Every structure is written in structure tokens, then in C-alpha cells.
Amino acid sequence: MAVSESVQGDLDCVHQGGHSSYMKYFLYARKSTDVEDKQVMSIEGQLAELRTVAKKEGLEIIAEFVEKRTAKMPGRPVFNEMIKRIQKGEAEGIICWKLDRLARNPVDGGQISWMLQQGIIQHIRLHDRNYYPTDNVLMMSVEFGMANQFIRDLSSNVKRGLRAKVKRGEFPSTAPTGYLNDARRKIIVVDRKKSKAIREAFELYSQGENRLEDISNFLYERDVRSLGGLKLHKDRVKWILSNPFYYGHFFYGGEIHEGKHTPIVSKKLFDKVQEVMLERGHPMKPHNEPKPLCGLLKCGTCGMMVTGENKTKVCKKKTHHYVYYHCTHKSKTIKCNEPCMREEVLARELNEILSKYAIPFPWRNELRVCMAEDEKKAETESSLIISDLREKVSTISDKIQRLLDVYLAQDIDRETYLRERSKLFSDKKSFEEKISKLERDAGAWLEPMREWVETASTLDEIARRNDLPSKKSSLQKIFGSNLTLHDKKIQENPSFPYAALRAARQKFPESDTSFIRAAGLGIEPKFSLSESDVLPLDDPAILFKNSSYPPRVDELRESRRAIRRRLPKSTNDHGNHTIRQMRPSFKRLHSTRGRGITPVCEISF
């Protein structure tokens, strides 16, 4: 755009220190953030100083533009509005604090510089200097370039600081629900109120019986809500339940990192939640309410599952409701004619079965004593296990470092590096939790046994209660999926150790606990010797002539080896004739020592 002679004369006048009487100015003030508690005095300070400059020099301000936005990227709405109004001729000058208030990017800076050169902008008044169309463009270009380079350096420094923070294990962002950002210490701390609700939500969902909407309602009742005070959306709940931040790791830059913050849940519970979430997926809503004993029994004829069905009968103006269990008849190859069975009859038979597998109270008490003794021994043995686990953790740390070296050497691609690094971090976290658990509870390996003993001791009580879901749960622990229904009779196939418990109840009275500590030595199959192979009664292997009574266990074992040496070679080679057992006739060998009891040793073949 050409500059007229009159305008050029006015510009010369301005350049010489005066100002044209008709020039109008826009005042522009900007701060780099829209957060009210940051740089609050920046805008007010700019406006006060620039108004003073305008009044002192007699500059007419027709409008003030205030913007709370960074100038790093083009597209500021207030700035663009001011430029459009200048292009329409509403003003010829701009008053601002510094050029970096107008632009920190080459697009906006170039636009200002070009409009100044073309005379569209005739004067830019800063707090300490002036810019005119006839000035050397190098000075303005340098100042705009410095402003642009400052924001680039600032971005680079911030990213470097964030990477350093991540390397220290500190999450460089807003804390998720259940945590708080400590502004004073610049760390993330546990929210004591919400963290308990988050942990309970993990435990509730891990049971596999609740939807994401149920978890959202659960959190809403415990004051864990959205920023607007509403219920959390199910997608947000899913994000919470799948966020590794809650067990001590966090995602940043597409990678998973170890965090220094306090975990809310354990890695084991987190993995259980992920399994439940994967299994549930998007299940279809059931049309009918399932019966309590559905999924427990299989048909003895076709192998299909046994299901329950409601039946209604009206008799003499009275309505009776019944529940019958029968085969689903889904087999396409076997025609099943199994009869139906009333729920009450089936429940009575299940009660009888449960009673067979209940552990007597004297046995339970004896097992508790044994477990207490083993727990004391485990305290010394756990140190060896912890040492081994720590060695594994150290090995994984070395692998992580070697993996990083290989990646930096560009021997593997980024995708492979991130995948293997994530696996190693997950394994390392699992081992660290095992170490922590062993240090906290050296007898943790006894928990399954302790739980089994307590469960088995309550079977009698469960059999007496009219609680079908509890019966089903207990029966599934005993039999798994090995219960079949054939001709209205339940066929049992218990799993270990319930099979051993039932066999012990058939062999020993409930008041006898001696067999718990002293088991028989022999476990080989029974065989018969020929007459030529019968050992003489005065054989030293039987009479223990050189030993004192009662014989020790090592003496019994030595005698067994002596007997094997006396057997024919063919017998030992083929293994068809082996010793079944050799044991004292008393149950507890060690309990007889020092009591004057002389057991009679017996060898049976």
C-alpha cells in the first residue's frame, strides 16, 4: 500500500519527536496465563504505566485490549481483533509494554513488522522506545527473534525439567483421583479421604460381581465425584481402575515409569482387577434371574450342565411355587432322560455331602498347633527366599539398563524397547511386592493351609444353614466342577486335600489326633513273596539286635534297605515285588520315647 505525501509528512513529524494531531492509538496488554492467581499484577501494572506514558506524551487511546493468553502460537482472538480494526483504519498506532507482548512467534511478529513497513501502523510506542515505518527493520527483527527464541528455550528447559522429574520417579502432572498435589513440597501425596474409597472400589470390582456404573455409584456415595459434583462417567471409572499410578507406576510420554509416590493398591489386586475387566467386557444382561445352584452340577448321562426352573401350581385357590433342577438337554449326540429334582431334596443331599468333608474340632486344633510351629521355622527360612528375590530384582534392574544401552545403540526399535521395558518393570514390581510381603509376614505361605483348615471346620455350620449360595461356594471349593447328578443321586469326585480328609474321617475317630504328626513310612504297593523269599524271624533287619527300643526312623529306613538287599535280583530289577510298608504298630513314634513304652515292630508285605 502506497503512503500519501500528507501521511509521509506526518510520519516525518512524529519521527522528529512530535505527534500528528489526528493519530489514534490502541493500548494492548497481555499476560501469558489465564489462571487468576498467577501474574495478577502484570496486566494492571502494564495498563498503569502505559496510560501514564500516553498522558505524558499526549497520545489519544481510543480502545484498550487485554488478553490472557500465551503468544507462543498464532491465533490469539483479542490480538487478531485489534489487527483487523487497525487494517480498517480505526487507529494508526499501538501502545504496549514491550514487543514480546505483541508476539512471540514469527507469524504474528512478521505481520506487525510488515504493517509497520507499509504504513498501516505508523507508530508503536513501548515504555522505553519508539518504532516507526522509516526505522531500520533490523532492530525490530532482532527483538522479535529474541522473544521467539526465549519461548523456544523456555519450552526446551521445561521439557528437560519434566524429564528429570520423571527420572526421579515424580509424576509431572496433575495428581489423579485419590491423590493431591502438595504445592509447598512439589510432590504428590495421598488424599486420606478419597484414597480409602478408591481402594475399596478396586476391592469391590475385583470380586467380579459389579459393573462400572455400580462402582461409579459407590464412589459418588463416598464423595468421590466429578469437578461439577456429578457421578463419574463409567469411562472415567474404567480409567481409574486401569491406571498403574495406583500401584506405584505411571505413564508419561508413552512409557511406563517407576514412581516414588505411595501406592493405594497392591500390584496383585490391580492385576486381579484387570483380569475381571477383561473377562466382563460387555456382557449381555440376563433375562432371568439365575438359580442359586446353577453351574454346580453336571448331568451324569450327557455331561451337560444342570439348571434350575421355576414351576407354579395352583391348588384350591392357593398358589405354590417350586424350583426344579434338571439337565439342560443341550447335547446333540446323546438323548438324555434324567428326571427332575426338587430344590429341597437336592439341598438335603448336598448338606449330607458337606458334613462328610467337615474337619472335626480336635483335628482343627492340632493342625493349628502344627501351623504355629511351622510359622516359627518359616521366619528363619524366609530370609533365604528374600535374598533370592532381591537377587532377581537386581538382575531385572541390570536387564533394564542393558536394554536401555541396546536401545541407545539403535540395535532395537522404539516399539520393542517400550514393550520389553514395560514387561521388566511389571516383573520387578511383582518381585518387590513379594519381598515386602515376606518381610511383613514370614509365614505367608501358610495362609492357604490356614484358610483351608478354617473353611473345612465351618462346613458343618454351612450344611445346617439355609444358605444355598454359601453351600454352592463351599461345594465348588471341594469338588470344582466334578459333581454329577445321575438318577437323582449326586456322584462325588473331591479334589485334594478334601479327598484325604474324608479318607481320614473314615479311618480314624474324631477324638484321635495322633496320626496328624506321625504318618506311615511305606507308600509302595503291596506284593507277596514266595516261600524261598520269606525272611527268617531272627533276621537282624527285623529284630534290631544292635539297636535300643524304640527304634529311630533312620534305623527303620536302614532295615528297609537291608531287606531289599536280601530280595532276589529279579525282584529288584523288575520292581514287581517291593516292600509296601514297614512301620511301628503305634501311631506316634516319638511320643513313646522316654515313657517306658516298647512298641512291637511289624513288617507287612
- The pLDDT, as a whole number, for residue 548 is 44
- The pLDDT, as a whole number, for residue 561 is 62
CATH architecture designation of domain 179-280:
Alpha-Beta Complex (3.90)
Query: Pick from 78, 74, 73: which is nearest to 43 by CA?
Result: 78
Condensed to tens digits (0 to 9), the pLDDT of residues 410-447 reads 888 988 999 999 999 999 989 988 888 777 776 666 78
- The pLDDT, as a whole number, for residue 304 is 92
CA distance 484 to 319: 32
Alpha carbon 505 to chain centroid, angstroms: 42
Condensed to tens digits (0 to 9), the pLDDT of residues 153-192 reads 777 777 877 888 888 888 888 889 999 998 888 889 999 8
Mean pLDDT of the chain: 79
Is the pLDDT confidence value at 18 over 90?
A: no
Is residue 510 classed exposed, middle or buried when 0-12, 13-18 and 19+ CB atoms within 10 A define those classes? Answer: exposed
Q: What is the mean pLDDT of residues 295-312?
A: 89
Q: What is the mean pLDDT of residues 33-61?
A: 76
pLDDT band at 100 (very low <50, low <70, confident <90, very high): confident
Any idea where the domains of the chain sit in the sequence? 5-153, 179-280, 361-451, 531-604
Query: CB count, 10 Å around CB of 528?
Result: 7
CA distance 576 to 528: 10
- The pLDDT, as a whole number, for residue 24 is 92
Is the pLDDT confidence value at 551 over 60?
A: no
Q: What is the mean pLDDT of residues 206-235?
A: 90
Helices (H) and strands (E) in the chain, counts: 20, 17
Q: What is the mean pLDDT of residues 320-328?
A: 88
- The pLDDT, as a whole number, for residue 444 is 62
Condensed to tens digits (0 to 9), the pLDDT of residues 492-543 reads 888 888 888 888 888 888 888 888 875 544 444 444 444 333 334 334 443 4
pTM of full prediction above 0.75: no
Render 393-405 in DSSP notation, one character per residue: HHHHHHHHHHHHH
Q: Contact at 8 Å (CB) between 477 and 455?
A: yes
Alpha carbon 568 to chain centroid, angstroms: 62
CA distance 199 to 204: 9
Is residue 34 classed exposed, middle or buried when 0-12, 13-18 and 19+ CB atoms within 10 A define those classes? Answer: exposed
- The pLDDT, as a whole number, for residue 120 is 92
Cell of 340: 427332575
Condensed to tens digits (0 to 9), the pLDDT of residues 451-488 reads 888 889 889 889 888 888 889 999 998 998 888 998 88
**Domain 5-153 has what CATH class?**
alpha beta
